[in-house]
């Protein structure tokens, strides 16, 4: 019997997981329990710089260069991310490039700027062979995603909360693959993100503001309903993109998806129960969210927008409430801190 729930997940199911932290000092535990990738974002990178400062030897040299704001943030992001790529490179090489990736996120201030994101993606791509460039799932970000895939750049389509968004990123990934094939090139991979806990957070606030007739138990199953519907569509359409579920808020966000052929991004704060508690080891991906729960959630238009495959068009993605909240956090509590780091 596997020692921990995470060990069981990796050994006995199709569900795999990535470590959701940029701190080098937290990687050992994750790698010892089967993590095959690392997700970072501007917030996590700024935390890593602060907490791991003593072990990041080149940091003072970067600060001494007095770079312009965005250049400085990029240089600091590169320092944190490439530390992790070194640790994951053996996994990347052993898997022949199927796993072992580390994410580097473009400046969230440019979520609607194709040119700036595309240029940044090309710069990040050459940092290491196992870099995954994180792009926002906005209309502009999707355009950049397709171009990147066609050029062999692996991408994670992040800031994503809905069935419509992951379908859009999977379709653009497929279009990029076709372009790469036509040019005789190796296409990039795509990880289509659902920020499962962040959509729950957003819908909880909507429910409180509108006095919607939904319970806390209903809200806690909203992201699961969205993810399970997306997963079903991905299997039906046989998308090449891989679903990556992030921003967990409780054990249930993993245990209720166990067995799915997808990736779970797990922050160290959420890893402990899966390493220490005797959780039931059962594949639950095919267990649907109760229809009465979905029906109550449907009373909220914002849930419908996130749940229905045609609930939003790409033009709507940037202005969706959860998108705006997340981008603002990544800017204020992440990217701006990288620019002003001393």
Q: If you average pLDDT over residues 92-105, what whole number do you get?
A: 97
Tell me, yes or no, whether 51 lies in a domain.
Answer: yes
HSE, side-chain direction, 13 A CA sphere, residue 282: 8
Q: How far apart are alpha carbons 62 and 136 in whole angstroms? A: 27
- Give the domain range for residue 69: 5-336
Q: In the block, which residue shows the tokens 């974002």?
A: 41
Tell me, yes or no, whether 218 lies in a domain.
Answer: yes
Phi/psi of residue 289, nearest 5 degrees: -65, 135
- pLDDT, position 227: 98
Tell me, yes or no, whether 113 lies in a domain.
Answer: yes
Q: If you average pLDDT over residues 201-212, what whole number do you get?
A: 97
Q: If you average pLDDT over residues 10-24, what whole number do you get?
A: 96
For the record, the structure tokens of 48 come out as: 């890593």
Tell me, yes or no, whether 34 lies in a domain.
Answer: yes
Which tens digits make up the pLDDT trace of 253-300?
999 999 999 999 999 999 999 999 999 999 999 999 999 999 999 999
- DSSP conformation class of 334: I
Tell me, yes or no, whether 284 lies in a domain.
Answer: yes
- DSSP conformation class of 136: E
Tell me, yes or no, whether 341 lies in a domain.
Answer: no
**8 A C-beta contact, residue 151 and residue 158:** no
CATH number at residue 179: 3.20.20.70
Q: If you average pLDDT over residues 221-234, what whole number do you get?
A: 98
Q: How many domains does the chain contain in total?
A: 1
- pLDDT, position 57: 85
3 state DSSP class of 104: strand
Average pLDDT, the chain: 97
- Mean pLDDT check: name the lowest of 54-58, 133-137, 167-171, 178-182: 54-58
Compute how many other C-beta atoms are within 10 angstroms of the C-beta atom of residue 171. 16
Tell me, yes or no, whether 295 lies in a domain.
Answer: yes
Q: How far apart are alpha carbons 263 and 274 in whole angstroms? A: 15
For the record, the structure tokens of 79 come out as: 């320092």
- Mean pLDDT check: name the lowest of 25-34, 235-244, 309-318: 25-34
Tell me, yes or no, whether 342 lies in a domain.
Answer: no
């Amino acid at each position: 019997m596997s020692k921990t729930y995470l060990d069981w997940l990796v050994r006995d199911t199709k569900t795999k997981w990535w470590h959701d932290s940029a701190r080098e000092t937290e990687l050992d535990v994750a790698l010892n329990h089967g993590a095959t990738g690392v997700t970072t974002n501007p917030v996590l990178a700024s935390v890593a710089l602060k907490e791991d400062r003593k072990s990041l030897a080149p940091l003072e040299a970067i600060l001494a260069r007095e770079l312009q704001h965005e250049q400085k943030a990029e240089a600091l992001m590169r320092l944190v991310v490439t530390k992790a790529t070194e640790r994951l490179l053996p996994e990347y090489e052993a898997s022949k490039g199927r796993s072992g990736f580390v994410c580097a996120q473009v400046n969230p201030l440019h979520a609607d700027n194709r040119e700036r994101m595309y240029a940044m993606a090309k710069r990040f791509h050459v940092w290491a062979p196992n870099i995954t460039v994180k792009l926002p799932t906005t209309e502009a970000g999707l355009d950049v995603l397709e171009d990147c895939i066609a050029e062999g750049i692996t991408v994670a389509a992040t800031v994503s909360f809905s069935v419509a968004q992951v379908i859009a990123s999977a379709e653009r990934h497929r279009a990029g693959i076709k372009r790469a094939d036509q040019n005789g090139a190796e296409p990039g991979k795509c990880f289509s993100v659902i920020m499962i806990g962040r959509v729950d957070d957003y819908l909880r606030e909507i429910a409180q503001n509108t006095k919607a007739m939904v319970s806390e138990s209903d809200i806690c199953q909203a992201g699961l309903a969205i993810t399970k519907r997306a997963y079903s569509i991905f299997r039906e359409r046989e998308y090449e993109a891989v679903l990556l579920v992030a921003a967990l808020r409780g054990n249930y966000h993993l245990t209720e998806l166990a067995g799915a052929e997808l990736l779970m991004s797990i922050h160290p704060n959420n890893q402990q129960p899966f390493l220490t508690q005797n959780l039931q080891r059962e594949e639950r991906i095919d267990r649907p969210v109760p229809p009465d729960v979905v029906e109550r959630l449907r009373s909220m238009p914002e849930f419908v927008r996130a749940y229905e495959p045609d609930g939003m068009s790409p033009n709507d993605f940037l202005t969706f409430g959860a998108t705006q909240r997340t981008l603002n956090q990544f800017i204020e509590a992440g990217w701006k801190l990288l620019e002003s780091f001393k």
